[in-house]
Structure 1
């Protein structure tokens, strides 16, 4: 009985009929009938004879059984076995399952090829707002699946026209395409090159524009190389200001059009662009407009506080990365603060400030801001700064400027101790990279500014 149960279970472990038919064929043999005896019968004489076997796990061999026993064990009809064996006897192949299945798609292959050819001719672009590599491409924001469907049906012959559901099914299942959003912060230099190349007919000038655009993009790529770089003796801090957060935030129309106080969030991220972002390496310095303005003194004080409260064991080089906003980041005030800190920190050999090509300034704090603003949009009312702080705490360590971090008058000190930038040995505004190091004379710091990312074009002074 154990062998019978095992044989039954082996048959029904297959859920589809084709595999069950193969199991039956494996345990049956068919051969031609050698001799036909004369009979008075209206039925055609059989041309083949089937022999039945059951596998015994105990004896490890097949045992010859009668048809009735075989059918009763598997709980099937004799016609199923006869049909399988007849097909095998006549053609030498396993019986195909003809019930169910797709009986329509092969009739519409011409329509499918026409729809796919139409979609593949569409002009697609890589995403503007995603800086990583992605396989998803985007069509114009003015298009939609329904518009594409109507456009397709309007230009093909009547026998190739399709229904909206058929077109949508092919579009969604066979292509990784989306519809982009209208761009709002495209690099003005890139846009200028693109528009000039559209109208330029002279080949030599057009080639010059292509080369200049290529150089511009390579410079942007070189900047992102600094953002990604990781070394054991390198500390990277990237920082930026989030857009102004209104206080209070209410749905009341009169409050919306009234004068509001802004809450400022200056975020510093410790690590490269590959680093995981959480409250252990993201620091948000927050203050409201009625306490301090958003100027170089506040930015310098926050950076100075972060540098003083960071573990610098084994660090030889500190790299600061930010956008080139002149009023906040790219100014002599921040550079003077860096010189002051470097002169007080003997274990650090050099400090770098790196600024991006205008229009290509995506850095790690921008990812933090996106997460914060996604949560803020869900709140209808934000009455006080503490409610903003509660949201920001989910993504960063909140530090209150003025309470947890002292604000210094860096601008006055720099104006007293440093020469005006117009008298420096490099053109301050055009530089993208600054490097500071201590001189042999105690208390002095040397500085140089470089226009290029990959090579030095200036000396320390």
Structure 2
């Protein structure tokens, strides 16, 4: 109280609190100086503005602590716990994983720049590397773009899902039935991934192959069943796989749909990325799916895959909920061969479609660059053929797989479930796909007999030389 009357303030409480950290401030500063000199990288699939950076995968906190202590004098060395607390509390750093799908062009530039000694050549490499990355960023600008009158659909195929999925080691050497997942995501890369805007078109290889007809049919179904009120531009984004996405089959389907679309839809764009830089929203869906699939030891039929996919999107089965049409043959009947088009089909990164003044027809323009409009709209149909006249025939699903694959799947099922595998209800999917074993044995016996006869017809000298 006497201190209060003298100074006008109460005494400062000295009991408790931190009386130690200031003694080690010089050590903390030395640690932070050491960490700040480390080379950090943004994640390979960096999305938007991120504040988290990653150190090389071969490092760890323990290794960093040893490196720090080895580089400091005794008065600045610290315990591992003190170094760990400083690292975790003051930095948002992680340790990356080795990259597996890096762009080949980017790697070539990096390696050439490292070993190049001529400054002029090295500067040219740096310029070309910069241009390459700017092109990749220009593509991602389209993926991120959001407008009230713009509808963006990005699509891709997941890696083949095997049936049956078992932990049996014999599965590694066995051919299996493939289930295909073609996913379409509605919205930009900034959109939240929900079942309402993720559409998984699934089918098994015994029904249809994975080809351009199936991709075009799924896209056509999605475009027809998407709300288009107030939409003036529809943008399709996919990787440049020629067998599935970047082909006349998909373009023909797009011209057909635009010719029939509501009049307020003015243009349709198809945009492909720079090779090696094709991370789009479906890849985020696939990452989540594969994480869940890894948790399942056994997946014995397509329905079990569908139940996993339903947690992330709407499952639409090709051949049932979505019809498959022969767009490829119909495109050849209506459209000119690619060699007669007015732009280089392979080199174009953007295709823009708009209606022609001629009712029922659509014009196409191909741009090689993302920002520069270097193409012109022209008709690519054969004389007298209109886009609206495309009438692809429906393709019926089959129920067959190759004999060699059927044999491998049968052996795998017998190894894992026993000779009576066909009595297990969970495996009913495979019963109609696999031929009778007795038929296979008869076929193998016939083949072996023919092989022996062929050998016996050879001259004795050649047989002797073969045995030797």
The 8 Å contact of residues 250 and 256 in structure 1, kept in 2 or not, is answered as no
Helix, strand or coil at the partner of 1:183: coil
Determine the structure 2 residue equivalent to 1:112.
28
Is 1:411 paired with 2:328? yes
Is 1:427 paired with 2:344? yes
The one of 225, 230, 236 equivalent to 1:309 is 225
The structure where helix makes up a greater share of residues is 2
The one of 92, 103, 128 equivalent to 1:212 is 128
Q: Which runs of 4+ in 1 moved over 4 A?
A: 89-93
Determine the structure 1 residue equivalent to 2:460.
none
* 1:91, distance to aligned residue in structure 2 (A): 5.6
Is 1:450 paired with 2:367? yes
Unaligned runs of at least 5 residues, structure 1: 1-84
Aligned length: 377
- What's the TM-score once normalised by structure 1's chain length? 0.78
Determine the structure 2 residue equivalent to 1:320.
236
Is 1:100 paired with 2:19? no
- Closer, same or farther: CA 115–314 of 1 in aligned 2, 3 Å: closer
Larger radius of gyration: 1
Is 1:363 paired with 2:280? yes
Provide the rounded CA distance (Å) in 2 between the counterparts of 1:228 and 1:113: 40
Provide the rounded CA distance (Å) in 1 between the counterparts of 2:195 and 2:23: 59
Task: Tell me how large the CA RMSD over aligned residues is.
Answer: 1.7
Determine the structure 2 residue equivalent to 1:12.
none
* 1:104, distance to aligned residue in structure 2 (A): 2.2
CA deviations on 1:158-216 (whole Å, 9 max, x unpaired) are 22211111111111111111111111111122222222222223333333222222222
* 1:453, distance to aligned residue in structure 2 (A): 1.1
Provide the rounded CA distance (Å) in 2 between the counterparts of 1:388 and 1:118: 49
* 1:303, distance to aligned residue in structure 2 (A): 0.6
Is 1:373 paired with 2:290? yes
Helix, strand or coil at the partner of 1:193: helix
Helix, strand or coil at the partner of 1:116: helix
Unaligned runs of at least 5 residues, structure 2: 379-468
* 1:260, distance to aligned residue in structure 2 (A): 0.9
Determine the structure 2 residue equivalent to 1:282.
198
Determine the structure 1 residue equivalent to 2:214.
298
* 1:346, distance to aligned residue in structure 2 (A): 4.9
Helix, strand or coil at the partner of 2:132: helix
Is 1:180 paired with 2:96? yes
The 8 Å contact of residues 343 and 366 in structure 2, kept in 1 or not, is answered as yes
The structure where strand makes up a greater share of residues is 1
* 1:338, distance to aligned residue in structure 2 (A): 1.0
The 8 Å contact of residues 45 and 279 in structure 2, kept in 1 or not, is answered as no
The 8 Å contact of residues 421 and 428 in structure 1, kept in 2 or not, is answered as yes
Is 1:252 paired with 2:144? no
Provide the rounded CA distance (Å) in 1 between the counterparts of 2:233 and 2:89: 50
Determine the structure 2 residue equivalent to 1:438.
355
Helix, strand or coil at the partner of 1:448: strand
The one of 43, 60, 64 equivalent to 1:148 is 64
Provide the rounded CA distance (Å) in 2 between the counterparts of 1:94 and 1:166: 35
Provide the rounded CA distance (Å) in 1 between the counterparts of 2:226 and 2:57: 45
CA deviations on 1:392-444 (whole Å, 9 max, x unpaired) are 11111111001111111111111222222122111111110001122222333
Determine the structure 2 residue equivalent to 1:386.
303
